[in-house]
């Protein structure tokens, strides 16, 4: 174990290629009466943003990589909070010395999105006007609102230019919005397994998950804080969502039709295939770490997202983008955000003479490929960033 200087203070390097021990920080703004005005005209404030940084900001303050997380992740993208941490940050394989987002070159920022429950203001936060959690009094939010909140954090950090905004899945939608809202700030964006709008299939799947939560007898119209938690509904919603992250091929290879107790298959309704036990495990694990109202709000923010909103077409909307280059990748087995949605983005970018690097990666892992295929993504992204 050794020490090395990163960012503003020395951190412990616990593994080769690790950013070491990191700290989640917080920034609060939009204090009343100067509340933040949301896309829908509602106001919210104060707003606290949880964030982490890795690497060192250069004197020109232009080596910034802004990492956007997906639906249920957090600001903790790399490193560990203490040496005994069992697991590092959710994208530790991509962020660190010598990795895709090399912290010896770049200053990497990841913030928890508005509406979440990992330190940034959301439905489970205390409403200062009532002294109780917001619950369903929390206003509806959009992907655009999340990006505008992140802009306040970036401004607070004294950053005026971003080398690249990168995101997988829902994070890619945020990256697109950065390029649309703040074209003068963003040199490039990296979109991995994402889309410019949500498909009817995804909206339908989200609706079933939301309904499962709302039909849980403990949901209590969102006012369950300090009471029985809607565990069953949230677990079912997560089980359904988790299916969309996988692929048919991977499920056959991992589980097939294996049964936990073949002798009871035809005797007991409660007997389970291994895939069923796996999904139940994922649902049970999820309810211990995530807020049901946040899950509903974030799913709806994805549903309503459309990068072409107000412009008639994606081609017209993308006329606002001023990036030097754009990286887009999809995965062959991803049916949540299938390849055709990445190709729609590429076509709209090329129609505006924006330099695009596109890769469809052959992978058996479904949508989760954006987290698992780091060995393929690393050299592709490294080459892309070196070209900016």
> Where do the structural domains in the chain lie, given as residue ranges?
2-198+304-386, 203-299
Distance CA 64, CA 293 (A): 32
Q: What fold, for 203-299?
A: Rna Polymerase Sigma Factor; Chain: A (1.10.1740)
d(CA 4, CA 102): 15
How crowded is residue 92: how many other Cβ atoms within 10 Å of its Cβ?
Answer: 21
At 368, list the tokens. Answer: 């989760």
CATH of the domain spanning 2-198+304-386: 3.40.50.1820
Q: What is the C-alpha to C-alpha distance for residues 67 and 385, in angstroms, rounded to an integer?
A: 14
How far, CA to CA in Å, does 345 sit from each of 22, 35, 43, 207, 306? 35, 34, 32, 25, 12
Q: Write out pLDDT tens, residues 283-341.
A: 999 999 999 999 999 999 999 999 999 999 999 999 999 999 999 999 999 999 999 99
For Cα atoms 4, 8, 18, give the angle at the middle one, nearest 5 degrees: 40
Over the stretch 88-145, which tens digit does the pLDDT of each residue have?
A: 999 999 999 999 999 999 999 999 999 999 999 999 999 999 999 999 999 999 999 9
Nearest to 301, CA basis, from 171, 141, 150: 141
Q: What is the dihedral of CA 103, 113, 14, 100, to 10 degrees?
A: -40
Residues 6 or more apart whose Cβ sits within 8 Å of residue 97: 17, 18, 19, 103, 104
User: Stretch 14-35: mean pLDDT, rounded?
Assistant: 90
Instruction: Give the model confidence (pLDDT) of 251-282 as tens digits.
Output: 999 999 999 888 887 788 888 999 999 999 99
Contact 337, 368 (CB under 8 A): no
> How far apart (Å, rounded) are the C-alpha atoms in residues 332 and 339?
7
Q: Is it the case that residue 78 has pLDDT exceeding 70?
A: yes
pLDDT tens, 161-200? Answer: 999 999 999 999 999 999 999 999 999 999 999 999 999 9
Catalytic residue numbers, as ranges: 169, 334, 367
């Amino acid at each position: 174990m050794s020490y090395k200087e990163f960012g503003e203070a020395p951190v412990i390097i616990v593994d080769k290629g690790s950013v070491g021990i990191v700290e989640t920080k917080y920034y609060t703004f939009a204090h009343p009466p100067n509340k933040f005005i949301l896309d829908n005209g509602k106001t919210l404030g104060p707003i606290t943003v949880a964030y982490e940084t890795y690497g060192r900001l250069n004197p020109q303050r232009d080596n910034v990589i802004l990492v956007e997380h997906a639906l249920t992740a957090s600001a903790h993208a790399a490193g560990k909070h203490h040496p005994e941490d069992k697991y590092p940050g959710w994208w530790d394989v991509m962020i660190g010395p010598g990795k895709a987002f090399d912290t010896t070159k770049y200053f990497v920022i990841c913030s928890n999105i508005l509406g979440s429950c990992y330190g940034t203001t959301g439905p489970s936060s205390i409403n200062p006007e009532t002294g109780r959690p917001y619950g369903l009094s929390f206003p509806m939010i959009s992907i655009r609102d999340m990006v505008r909140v992140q802009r306040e954090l970036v401004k607070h950090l004294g950053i005026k230019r971003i080398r690249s905004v990168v995101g997988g899945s829902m994070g890619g939608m945020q990256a697109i919005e950065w390029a649309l809202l703040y074209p003068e700030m963003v040199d490039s964006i990296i979109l991995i397994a994402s889309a410019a709008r949500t498909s009817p299939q995804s909206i339908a799947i989200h609706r079933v998950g939301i309904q499962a939560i709302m039909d849980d007898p403990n949901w209590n119209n969102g006012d369950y804080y300090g009471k029985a938690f809607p565990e069953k509904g949230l677990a079912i919603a997560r089980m359904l969502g988790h299916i969309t992250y996988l692929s048919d091929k991977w499920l056959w290879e991992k589980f097939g039709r294996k049964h936990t107790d073949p002798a009871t298959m035809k005797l007991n309704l409660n007997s389970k295939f291994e895939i069923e036990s796996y999904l139940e495990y994922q649902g049970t694990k999820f309810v211990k770490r995530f807020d049901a109202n946040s899950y509903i709000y974030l799913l709806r923010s994805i549903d309503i997202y459309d990068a072409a909103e107000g412009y008639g077409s994606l081609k017209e909307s993308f006329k606002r983008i001023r990036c030097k280059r754009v990286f887009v990748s999809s995965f062959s087995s991803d049916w949540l955000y299938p390849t055709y949605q990445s190709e729609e983005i590429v076509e709209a970018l090329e129609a505006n003479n924006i330099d695009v690097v596109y890769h469809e990666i052959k992978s058996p892992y479904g949508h989760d490929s954006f987290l698992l295929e780091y060995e393929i993504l690393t050299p592709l992204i490294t080459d892309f960033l070196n070209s900016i």
